[in-house]
Every structure is written in structure tokens, then in C-alpha cells.
């Protein structure tokens, strides 16, 4: 047993850390540190800096621009990104849509979309949830009816993150209502500029505009935008769910937040507060090792992680929320400056983490069924 990174891994980490220190623009780092709003331009600016370096999509195959790093190196890099205070790489294109195209897309689809995703030419969003279909995703109703060379799409998506920035949306749509409901779902790519699409903001309780409702009203989508076969959308969705779930713990970012919190709260000697802070720090230490144990297993077996990897999402998001909670508690109740307001808003905003990307209850269902066999 050896819990330490190897000399090569440490050298890799140092290289990534040094490069990030030299290339992460100060304004962007400042915004992340102050929990300030990141514009589309901010996100794309950082995306393009990484793309130019060749580091924006490490997990992709080398022929499409991947780095060829192993799972541990990828994890180290992701952690360094978080730790450096970089803006997030929005996952919908690079991580999600690309993973689907690489696995199920036609050659034409790969050639058409992957380079544009890589270079940040297209901004993607994800059309999964619907007003009546949250955790029970297979009940989705947005309909796509084939008419000649096109599908005509009608329906509504909800909680669509950054749809107001997006050039494209990948959607789960219903192409058949006759059989088993999972078999009637298809995976389709839709240009957001197509007539009939309306994006309406949903303002969350922190006052921010991040998610949207997206309405489809007789939207004409070329049939060539279907990914995989018609009726195989559920297979695609399940593949995506099991793919690349190693950074859901967001350990690097939480470590950075913890350091900030410890500095911020250093004058609070109140034992009850210190104990809560210590317990959270311990949980994060444990999660980091648990995460490394998963990586070590993946590296040795060459297999993707099992369903129990859901525990990283559960624990990681609980830690993220715990950090914002302690920040708010550490604030001077009378403070009303910009930083204090941003912290309180962040507390409100981070309640989403245990709900999105498969609520933590759904994650527990997954472990219960797939790992424990209940």
C-alpha cells in the first residue's frame, strides 16, 4: 500500500500546476474566487486557452485531440483545474455530447461536431429533464415525429443549464409511444437557431439566470442529427451516465474552498464551529482517498468504475454544501459587502448540487440496486 503519487505523477502535477498558474487569466481566477458571475465570454475564453494548449479534452482519443493521459493523470489535472480556481469546463459539449458521439456517432457526425466542440465554436446544452420527468426520466414526452428527411419536434425541456448561451442542444425525445417506454426514446442533436425554439429563463433563488425552459414548437430537425438508432436513446443515456463520473466529487475545488474557509474563519475560536469545520475537513480527506481508491482500481483493471462510484457524487456534493453552510455561518451577520452577499448567494445556489445530475436519492437507488443487489 502506498498512498503517495509516484515521482512521475508528482512531476506531472507540478507541470500542470505551473502552467495553470502562468496561463489562468487573473480576472477569471478573481471572479471564481469571489463567486462572481461568469459570462459566456469568460467560459469560452478559458475553454479556448486550454484548447490551444491541447488540454481541453484530455479523455478524448488522441486522434480527436485527447492527451493520452491515464485515469490518474486526468484526475490530477482535473483536481489542479479546480484547485487553481479556474472557470469550469462546461461539460455538455466536451464531456457529454462528445462521449456520446465518440461511442455512437457516425463518422460524419464526429467530423462535423467534435472539432467545433474542441475549439469552443459551438456551445452545447443538455435537453433531458421535462416538467413531468425529473428523476423518472423515461417518462419524458417531448415528441419527435419522422417526416421524410426530418423529425418534427414538439414539447418542453426544463432546468436546461446555460441554454441561453447554447448553439446546440442534445435531447432525449420520444419517437415511439407504443412499446416499453424506454424503447421509444431517441437521442437527437438540435441547432438552437432552428425556428420554433423558445428559451425562457428560470431564475433560481440566488437570483441568477443559469437554467431555462426550452420550448419546441414544430421544430424541424434533419434526420441526420439522430445519434445511434431510432429508439436507442435510452442506451445512449445509460452509457453517458456510466461514463466519466470520476470528477463528480469535485475534490480540487472543495479543497480550495476549504482553504479559503479556514483562512476566512481563522479568528473564530468557538469550539462548536471548529468541530463542524474539522469534521468537514476530515470528510474531504476521506473522500479524496476514496476517490483515489476508485482510480487505482480502474487503472489496474482497465474497467470503468462500478455503480458504487455514485458515492463520490453523494459525498462530494454534501461536502460542497457543507462548505457553503460554514462560510455563511462564519460571516459576520452584520456584513453586507459584495463578498458577503456573494457567499450567501452561493449557499443558496449550491443547494442544487444534491439535486442535479441524478439527485442524491437517485444515486442511492443506483448503489442499492446495482452494488448491493436490493
Partner 1 sequence: MNFDYNEEQQLLADSLRRYLQAQYSFEQRKKVLDGSAEVWAKFVEMGLLALPISPDHGGFGGGAVDLMAIMEAFGEALVVEPYLPTVMASRLIARGASDARKSELLPAVAEGRLRLAFAQTEGGARYDLAAVKCKATRSGDHWLLDGKKKAVLGAPLAGKLVVSARSEDGIGLFLAEKNDIQSYRGIDGMLQGDISFSRAKAERLDGGLPLIEEAIDFGAALICAEGVGAMKSACDATLEYLKTRKQFGVPIGTFQALQHRVVDMFISAEQARSMACLACSKVDQSATPEERKRAVSAAKIRIADAARHVSQEAVQLHGGMGMSEEMKVSHTFRRLTVIAAQFGDADHYLARFAAL
Residues designated catalytic: 244
For partner 1, the closer CB: 5 or 215: 5
Report 284-303 residues binding partner 1 (CB under 8 A).
Answer: 285-287, 289-290, 292-293, 295-297, 300
> β-strands 124-127, 143-147: how paired?
unpaired
Nearest approach, Cβ of residue 159 and partner 1 (Å): 23
Contact 283, 258 (CB under 8 A): no
Contact 151, 221 (CB under 8 A): yes
- Is residue 374 part of the contact set for partner 1 (CB under 8 A)? yes
Query: What separation in angstroms does the CA of 199 have from each of 143, 169, 214?
Result: 18, 12, 5
- Is residue 11 part of the contact set for partner 1 (CB under 8 A)? no
Burial of 1 (0-12, 13-18, 19+ CB in 10 A): exposed
- How far, in Å, CA of 168 to CA of 149, rounded? 19
Nearest approach, Cβ of residue 6 and partner 1 (Å): 7
For partner 1, the closer CB: 121 or 308: 308
Nearest approach, Cβ of residue 258 and partner 1 (Å): 13
Judged by CB under 8 A, the stretch of 122-130, 220-228, 238-246, 272-280 that binds partner 1 is 272-280
- Is residue 3 part of the contact set for partner 1 (CB under 8 A)? yes
φ, ψ for residue 34, nearest 5 deg: -90, 5
Report 17-76 residues binding partner 1 (CB under 8 A).
Answer: 72
> Sign (positive/negative) of CA torsion 336, 339, 341, 347?
negative
Report 304-343 residues binding partner 1 (CB under 8 A).
Answer: 308, 311, 314-315
For partner 1, the closer CB: 138 or 370: 370
Spatial neighbors of 144 by CB under 8 A, at least 6 apart, are: 151, 152, 153, 173, 174, 175, 186, 188, 221
Burial of 105 (0-12, 13-18, 19+ CB in 10 A): buried
Judged by CB under 8 A, the stretch of 139-147, 162-170, 247-255, 360-368 that binds partner 1 is 360-368
Residues forming beta bridges with residue 199, ordered by sequence position: 214
- Is residue 1 part of the contact set for partner 1 (CB under 8 A)? yes
Nearest approach, Cβ of residue 275 and partner 1 (Å): 5
- Is residue 7 part of the contact set for partner 1 (CB under 8 A)? no
User: What DSSP line would sit under 282-338, residue for residue?
Assistant: HHHHHHHHHHHHHHHHHHHH-PPP-GGGHHHHHHHHHHHHHHHHHHHHHS-TT--SH
Using the rule CB under 8 A, which residue among 11, 203, 205, 282 binds partner 1?
282
Nearest approach, Cβ of residue 179 and partner 1 (Å): 26
- Is residue 4 part of the contact set for partner 1 (CB under 8 A)? yes
Nearest approach, Cβ of residue 323 and partner 1 (Å): 17
- How far, in Å, CA of 295 to CA of 304, rounded? 9
Nearest approach, Cβ of residue 279 and partner 1 (Å): 7
- Is residue 202 part of the contact set for partner 1 (CB under 8 A)? no
- How far, in Å, CA of 80 to CA of 72, rounded? 12
For partner 1, the closer CB: 130 or 288: 288
Contact 150, 223 (CB under 8 A): yes
Using the rule CB under 8 A, which residue among 188, 281, 347, 354 binds partner 1?
281
- Is residue 279 part of the contact set for partner 1 (CB under 8 A)? yes
For partner 1, the closer CB: 270 or 338: 270
- How far, in Å, CA of 172 to CA of 254, rounded? 32
φ, ψ for residue 55, nearest 5 deg: -115, 15
- Is residue 111 part of the contact set for partner 1 (CB under 8 A)? no
Where along the sequence are the contacts to partner 1 (CB under 8 A)? 1-6, 9, 72, 271, 274-275, 277-279, 281-283, 285-287, 289-290, 292-293, 295-297, 300, 308, 311, 314-315, 361, 364-365, 367-368, 371-374
Amino acid at each position: 500500500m502506498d498512498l503517495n503519487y509516484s515521482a512521475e505523477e508528482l512531476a506531472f502535477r507540478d507541470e500542470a500546476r505551473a502552467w495553470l498558474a502562468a496561463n489562468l487569466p487573473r480576472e477569471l481566477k478573481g471572479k471564481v474566487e469571489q463567486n462572481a458571475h461568469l459570462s459566456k465570454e469568460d467560459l469560452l475564453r478559458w475553454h479556448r486557452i486550454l484548447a490551444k494548449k491541447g488540454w481541453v479534452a484530455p479523455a478524448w482519443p488522441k486522434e480527436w485531440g485527447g492527451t493520452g493521459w491515464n485515469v490518474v493523470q486526468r484526475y490530477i489535472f482535473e483536481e489542479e483545474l479546480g484547485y487553481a480556481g479556474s472557470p469550469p469546463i462546461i461539460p455538455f459539449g466536451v464531456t457529454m455530447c462528445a462521449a456520446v458521439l465518440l461511442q455512437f456517432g457516425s463518422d460524419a457526425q464526429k467530423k462535423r461536431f467534435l472539432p467545433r466542440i474542441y475549439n469552443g465554436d459551438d456551445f452545447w446544452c443538455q435537453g433531458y429533464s421535462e416538467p413531468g420527468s425529473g428523476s423518472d426520466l423515461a417518462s419524458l414526452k417531448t415528441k419527435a415525429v419522422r417526416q421524410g428527411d426530418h423529425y418534427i419536434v414538439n414539447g418542453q425541456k426544463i432546468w436546461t443549464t446555460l441554454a441561453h448561451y447554447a448553439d446546440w442542444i442534445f435531447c432525449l425525445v420520444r419517437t415511439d409511444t407504443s412499446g416499453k417506454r424506454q424503447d421509444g426514446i431517441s437521442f437527437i442533436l438540435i441547432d438552437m437557431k432552428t425556428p420554433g425554439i423558445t428559451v425562457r429563463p428560470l431564475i433560481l433563488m440566488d437570483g441568477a439566470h443559469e437554467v431555462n425552459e426550452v420550448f419546441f414548437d414544430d421544430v424541424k430537425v434533419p434526420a441526420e442529427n439522430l445519434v445511434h438508432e431510432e429508439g436507442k436513446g435510452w442506451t445512449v443515456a445509460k452509457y453517458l451516465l456510466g461514463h466519466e463520473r470520476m470528477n463528480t466529487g469535485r475534490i480540487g475545488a472543495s479543497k480550495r474552498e476549504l482553504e479559503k474557509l479556514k483562512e476566512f474563519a481563522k479568528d473564530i475560536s468557538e469550539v462548536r464551529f471548529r468541530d463542524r469545520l474539522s469534521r468537514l475537513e476530515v470528510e474531504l480527506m476521506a473522500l479524496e482517498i476514496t476517490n483515489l481508491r476508485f482510480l487505482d482500481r480502474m487503472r489496474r483493471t482497465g474497467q470503468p468504475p462500478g455503480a458504487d462510484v455514485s458515492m463520490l457524487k453523494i459525498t462530494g456534493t454534501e461536502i460542497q454544501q457543507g462548505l457553503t453552510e460554514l462560510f455563511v455561518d462564519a460571516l459576520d451577520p452584520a456584513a453586507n459587502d459584495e463578498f458577503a452577499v456573494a457567499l450567501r448567494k452561493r449557499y443558496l445556489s449550491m443547494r442544487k448540487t444534491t439535486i442535479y445530475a441524478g439527485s442524491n436519492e437517485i444515486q442511492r437507488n443506483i448503489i442499492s440496486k446495482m452494488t448491493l443487489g436490493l
